[in-house]
Structure 1
Amino acid sequence: MTSDRSGAHPRPRRPAFFSPGVMDTFPGDPDPIQRIEAAHRTAAALVDHARGGGDPEATARIVALADIYGLDEIAELWSARPAETLPGALWRIYALQAGIRRDAVGMARAFDIGRHRAPVHEAVAGVADPPGPAEVQDMSDAILGGAFTGDLADALERAAAFCHVVATGWALHADLEPSLDADATPGSELTRRAGGLARTGTELELAAKMWRNGELS
């Protein structure tokens, strides 16, 4: 389900982060090593720029490129990196927000079901009560914005907590709530999704610890 929230809070502008040096790796068909280097350099450039460390001239080029091409190519580049890397961790936050936007109603329902079994994670996630579709989307926007302009570890921990609560909700109602995933066998598919989202939550928790220890790059 897709909701039109154009009249509500505006979505935060996703930062652009290509730099001339990174772009130099893209002509032709980049080899796997170039793609890995580009993934890490773009992620580091984004975080550095968001914290005031970017070169203004490079920033102007970065913004123009993102306005023209969007972030889809970068998202694809990041998605290939492990969770214990900066691009991999950022990708998981980006993918979580995309998943929430695709099915805000289902995510909110699962969060509401799971929060009673995971009160600590509920508190960390910071979804407004009662957790409806607008509330989970607001949370995902706040997490994405915080990852780029605030404390990245906090954003990773909030995303992790949300994953754990939703995974708990899916697991609790794998056999009782087929409407959460009408296109798949309710029990087996929801159980599979719950396991995958719980793993993502654990990965994001580890990434937050690594960031605080200066080990996430």
Structure 2
Amino acid sequence: MPSDLPRHHKPIKFAPAKIQNRVGGEDPAVLSQAAHESAQAILGRGRANTDPAVTARLVEFTDHYGLEAIAEMWSHSAGVSLPGSLWRMYALRDTIRKNPERISYFYGLGMESDQVSRIVAGVADPPTESEIIATVNAILTGAYTGEFDIALERFAAFCRVVALGQDAVAHSVQFGQLETSVQHPKNEPSAEVRREGARRAHELRAGAQRLTTIAQELEASAEKWREGTLD
């Protein structure tokens, strides 16, 4: 990466819910071409590299320059595309790194409901905050040093498990329980608490659905990569 890239001292914090297409003022065809060419160049050079320090800088790029630095390149791309896939992996890593306690909590709740995804994601048990961060770093590292389709599928599996955990919390908060007390029901909540619970449950379910959609896109991208048609 060029050393003269601007440093973003206050990076924009994108959550998975905000991984959406962005509308810009430039020609969409030009933006699309630039996104695809930059994704191909960065992934190609990263995978050709044999220096672990360079790979580490690629994985940690948004830690230093902010997520906005790559959002400007890739966030408008289709989900099933090379730039779209890279954007989703970096954005997910950024969200997980900034919210490890919450994400590990969701993951812990969801992992028993989908053993296959749990195994594919490869998070150690128990899924502590440090294990969650170590796993997503290892997955993104693997995109440059291993099989790219496997990295996509591991991120997809991770998303599926977290989505299941969010659904479990949504079911509980809808009836007035605290998000951190899913397994410990309280006394009958007031009407006001139930209304707030219903609102929060709706948000959680919407977030879970978005994560499931991202998982589907990453899995489709993995299949196209194996076919040699992901661009």
- TM-score under structure 2 length normalisation: 0.71
Deviation string for 1:14-43 (max 9, x for gaps)? xx389xxxxxxxxxx853222111100110
Q: What whole-Å deviation, never above 9, does each CA across 1:185-216 have from its counterpart, x for those lacking one?
A: 32111111011101111111111111011010
Percent pairwise identity: 39
1:97 aligns with 2:111: no
CA offset digits 1:44-78 (Å, max 9, x no partner): 0012102228xxxxx9xxx9xx8996663332320
Amino acid of the residue matched to residue 129 of structure 2? Answer: P
Aligned length: 181
Q: CA RMSD in A?
A: 2.8
Name the counterpart of 2:126: 130
- Equivalent in 29, 33, 37 of residue 33 of structure 1: 29
Residue type of the alignment partner of 1:150: G
CA distance in 2, matches of 1:76, 1:128: 34
SS in 1 for 2:112: coil
CA contact (8 A) 2:169 2:179 kept: no
Report what 1:211 is aligned to. 225
Structure 1 runs not aligned, ≥5 long:
1-15, 19-28, 54-58
Could you tell me which runs of 5 or more consecutive residues in structure 2 were left unpaired when the two chains were aligned: 4-24, 181-195
Distance 2:42 2:129 in 1: 29
Of 197, 201, 209, 1:195 maps to: 209
Letter in 1 for 2:114: A
Query: Aligned equivalents of 1:17 and 1:82: distance in 2?
Result: 26
Cα distance, 1:108–1:71 mapped onto 2, change above 3 Å = closer
Letter of the 2:206 counterpart: R
SS of 1:129 mapped into structure 2: coil
Tell whether 2:155 aligns with 1:159: yes
2:69 aligns with one of 62, 68, 73: 73
TM-score computed with the length of structure 1 as normaliser: 0.75
Cα distance change on mapping 1:98 and 1:184 into 2, 3 Å:
farther
Return the alpha-carbon distance in structure 2 between the equivalents of residues 164 and 17 of structure 1. 35
What residue in structure 2 maps to residue 56 of structure 1? Answer: none
Distance 1:69 1:168, change over 3 A: closer
Q: Give the counterpart letter for 1:205 in structure 2.
A: E
